[in-house]
Amino acid sequence: MTVRFQSERAAAVASHTIHRIERGFPSTYTIQNRIAQALDTVVARLKMVVDSSHHDVAVHTLEQDHWLGLIDRRLMVPEDNDEIIQSQPERSRLGRLGFVSQFVNILGCRLPTGKLVSGILEIYGDLPASCYLGGEIFAFALKGDTVLNHGGAGFLLRQGEATTFDCTKPFSFSKSADDPDSTDPNLVLYVRLDETEPINSRKRKRGRVAEGRPGAWVDPENSFQNFGKKDRKLTS
């Protein structure tokens, strides 16, 4: 109940309005967007229907694919834009023109009581950095060399490479500067641990930590990889 009360206050939406929405009554996009932002998600996620008949398996089918534009810079957005951008050529056109730098397909394979949120990013250009209240993100470069910008540093993910990072710090993804003229989008698979506890409040575990510039991975702690040697640089 505490989490719900905090979310209602953060969204600046009356509790009786939320009760009406939960019972299936219509609401405006503005109210839906406020609630989504308060819950660290997007409106499309609020509208997803979860199959509660299976509590231990969740599947995303091709029929569930639904792309959303992240920050549309056009002065006039078509009323049927949500339907139009499901076409990859249209997303590519908007990306090449710089109107929409990135799109996301939020995958519907979240367990009813699970904490993992996954999706595919289609990257044409840069976006402002953003962050979440808590949790961490695993990202895998499906197509193209992609840079993770995190906490003021950049980390290069070549196609086929992966990373995990604290998403309470400002982050963004961008295409590698080695191929700036390519009009083909980069694709990144991400999986976010959806929680409100900051990662730095947990008990520290042994493991490899990445720091520094793109392509330079530093292991500053004693771990099984360095056998007691500190600050050993690992180059990919």
**Cα gap 55→53, rounded to integer Å:** 6
**Cα gap 41→38, rounded to integer Å:** 8
Domain boundaries, the chain: 1-39, 53-202
Average pLDDT of the chain? Answer: 77
Residue 142: pLDDT above 90?
Answer: yes
Cβ 186 vs Cβ 192: under 8 Å: no
Residue 19: how many other CB atoms lie within 10 Å: 10
Interval 24-28 mean pLDDT? 68
* Tens of pLDDT, residues 58-81: 889 888 899 999 989 999 988 889
Q: Give the pLDDT score at 115.
A: 87
Whole-model pTM over 0.95: no
Structure token pair of residue 83? 């339907």
Residue 34: pLDDT above 70?
Answer: yes
Residue 177: pLDDT above 50?
Answer: yes
Residue 5: pLDDT above 50?
Answer: no
Residue 49: pLDDT above 60?
Answer: no
* Tens of pLDDT, residues 96-124: 999 999 999 999 888 888 889 999 999 99
Range among 15-19, 33-37, 73-77, 192-196 with highest mean pLDDT value = 73-77
* Tens of pLDDT, residues 210-233: 544 444 443 334 333 333 343 333
Strand 186-193 to strand 171-175: parallel, antiparallel, or no bridges (unpaired)? Answer: unpaired
**Cα gap 77→82, rounded to integer Å:** 10
**Cα gap 162→168, rounded to integer Å:** 19
Q: Give the pLDDT score at 106.
A: 93
Beta bridge partners of 8: none
pLDDT tier at 190, thresholds 50, 70, 90: very high
Q: Give the pLDDT score at 232.
A: 37
**DSSP letter assigned to residue 63:** G
Closest CA to 18 of 41, 39, 49: 39
The proportion of the chain whose per-residue pLDDT surpasses 90, expressed as a percent, equals 41
Fold (topology level) of 53-202: Jelly Rolls (2.60.120)
